Amino acid sequence: MKVVSSPFLRACRREAADRTPVWLMRQAGRYMPEYRAIRARFGFLELCKDSEAAAEVTLLPVERLGVDAAIIFADILLPVEPMGVGLEFAKGEGPIIHRPVRSAGDLGRLAEVDPLEATPFVFEATRKVRAALGERVPLIGFAGAPFTLASYLIEGGPSRDYLHTKRLMHDDQATWHSLMERLQKVTVGYLNGQISAGAQAVQLFDSWVGILSPNDYREFVLPWTRGTIKGVTAGVPVIHFGTGTAGLLSLMREAGGDVIGLDWRVDLGEAWKRLGYDVAVQGNLDPAVLLAKPTEIRRHVRAILERAAGRPGHIFNLGHGVLPETPVDHVVAMVEMVHDLSRR
């Protein structure tokens, strides 16, 4: 089977396939002993920048889990690190931005970045993975959406309330839109660089956009997300994903994407009906379900597949990333369950 006819790419195009495809966000991560063994040799940023090791990590789930797509091992903050924001991945704390952007002056100090020159290791890893995959499964590239990148840059790291982000958004709209314009340009270049290197679909992660009201999303985010998606190489499927977005789904649909990713807080069947059946959907098993016994996992997998009703255009995934505590055998079993229960 040619990879262009794979169940994953067929689902992105809302074409009928012989089964529902499945891949997982964070499918190469700390829950896998093979990944932990590699991480013992590298710091996180060091691993991302070593194209050979990043390619090896990317390929692990294809071999171990039997998923229908690989996703390049990288991080959404890689294209903003060269801007000079002082990015560090602190053990147990996640990403830290030591020089946050909270004013026009801060924005003016950011270096102009061409991702093709600044992140060549991502594209090299992408080329290596594509060569290794051959025609087995497609490769997904990804990037952070402008809002989520901006929230990291402004907050200095993850946040509970995003007050710095909202304050800048409302008090200094000129600086906000200038920052978003810059991040849109970088993100488009970063995604298209991955596509040129061999990615056959891309996912735009707007991980934190669910903290916004619909009105704020419409005014401050939608134009930049739409511009990013429109800037992606024509003909390459775009998956548009966010968490906590039950109240934003229609606006996300308006912003664009061939596939809308759903987190576990919404009913897949109802959400797809709201979005319209002229768009594909991805999701949406609660990652915590994978900690349960296999009979319970199977019950939840079946329920989600039933809500999709066998309609072309469903990609099975979690509602967010695989949790570090997840047993690998449970993930393998879930992939097999999706294939078994959806076979047509």
30 is catalytic: yes
**Local structure of residue 311 (DSSP, 8 states):** -
Whole-angstrom Cα distance, residue 75 to residue 207?
13
Catalytic residue among 50, 68, 75, 206: 75
**Local structure of residue 14 (DSSP, 8 states):** T
Q: Which two tokens stand for residue 119?
A: 């992140």
31 is catalytic: no
Long-range contacts of 115-121 (CB under 8 A, 24+ apart): 115/79, 115/186, 115/189, 115/190, 115/193, 116/189, 116/193, 118/79, 118/81, 118/82, 119/78, 119/79, 119/82, 119/190, 119/193, 121/48, 121/49, 121/50, 121/51, 121/54
Whole-angstrom Cα distance, residue 42 to residue 49?
10
Catalytic residue among 26, 136, 226, 311: 26
Whole-angstrom Cα distance, residue 152 to residue 97?
7
**Quick one: how many helices (H) and strands (E) in the chain?**
16, 9
41 is catalytic: no
Whole-angstrom Cα distance, residue 277 to residue 4?
22
Catalytic residue among 13, 30, 99, 302: 30
Whole-angstrom Cα distance, residue 240 to residue 238?
6
CA-closest candidate to residue 176, choices 264, 254, 103:
103
13 is catalytic: no
50 is catalytic: no
Whole-angstrom Cα distance, residue 218 to residue 155?
21
Cα→Cα distances 108→17, 25, 101, 111, 307, Å? 50, 34, 9, 8, 49
Residues marked active site are found at: 26, 30, 39, 75, 152
